Amino acid sequence: MADLWAFEKEARRVGFEKIAGIDEAGRGPLAGPVVSAAVILPERIYIPELDDSKKLSPQKRDRLYKEIYNQAISIGIGIVDAAEIERINILRASLIAMKIAVENLDPAPDFLLVDGIFRVPKSLPQETIKKGDKRCMSISAASIVAKVSRDRMMEIYDLDYPVYGFSRNKGYGTKEHRIAIQTFGCCPIHRKTFRGVKEYR
C-alpha cells in the first residue's frame, strides 16, 4: 500500500514545515460556487478512513470533517460564486478559490501540495499531484473539507430555490435537476454559460 504521507515526508526532508494540502469541490455542477480548502495537518495524526471525498458516504464525510477540524493545525476555505465562474471560466475560478483558501490559512504555509496539474497562483513552493486526493493525506483532508463545505452551502441554497432539489443533487446535472431547469428556467446561482443551463436562460 502506498504511503499517503510520502509527499509530506519529502517536503519535510528538504526543510519545509507548514505543508498545506489543497483541493476543490464543484467544478462540474450546473449551479452553485466552486469551493476550495487548504489544510495543514500535524506531522503525527491518525484519522482512520481518510480518503478521497468522492468515495465516502455523506455520513462518513461529515464525521471525518469534524475530525479534521479537531486535529488540523490550520484550515482555509476559498469560495468563488457562479457569477464569477461565468466571467472568468471554471478553471480560473477554481485556481482563484485555491489561492483564497491558502491566504486564509493561519499560520501561513511554506509549501503547497495541490491536487491536479495546475499550480495555485501564489509565489510559494508547491507540487502538483495528479489524483492527489487518493495519494496524499493532506490533499485528501482538503477534499473532504471542500466537499462538505460546498454541500452545506447547497443545502442552504435549496431553501431559497426548492424546485431544483439542490439539497439532493448539490447542483450537479442529475435528471431531476435538468428537468427542473427545463420547467422553471434558471435561478441566480445557475452557471448560465454551462451546457444544460444556457439553453434555458
The C-alpha cell that represents 1 in the structure block: 500500500
pLDDT at position 2, please? 66
Find the mean pLDDT for residues 95-121.
Answer: 98
CA distance 152 to 150: 5
Q: Which candidate, 95, 47, 48, places its Cα nearest to that of 72?
A: 47
Whole-model pTM: value is 0.95
pLDDT above 70: residue 114: yes
Confidence of residue 150 (pLDDT cuts 50, 70, 90): very high
Confidence of residue 41 (pLDDT cuts 50, 70, 90): very high
Taking a C-beta distance cutoff of 8 angstroms, is the pair 158, 167 a contact?
yes
Taking a C-beta distance cutoff of 8 angstroms, is the pair 108, 88 a contact?
no
Residue 29, preceding peptide bond in cis (omega within 30° of 0): no
> What are the start-end ranges of the H helices in the chain?
6-13, 58-71, 82-88, 90-103, 132-135, 137-160, 166-169, 175-184
Domains of the chain by start residue, with CATH? 6-151 (3.30.420.10)
Find the mean pLDDT for residues 120-134.
Answer: 96
Percent of the chain with pLDDT over 90: 90
Average pLDDT of every residue of the chain: 95
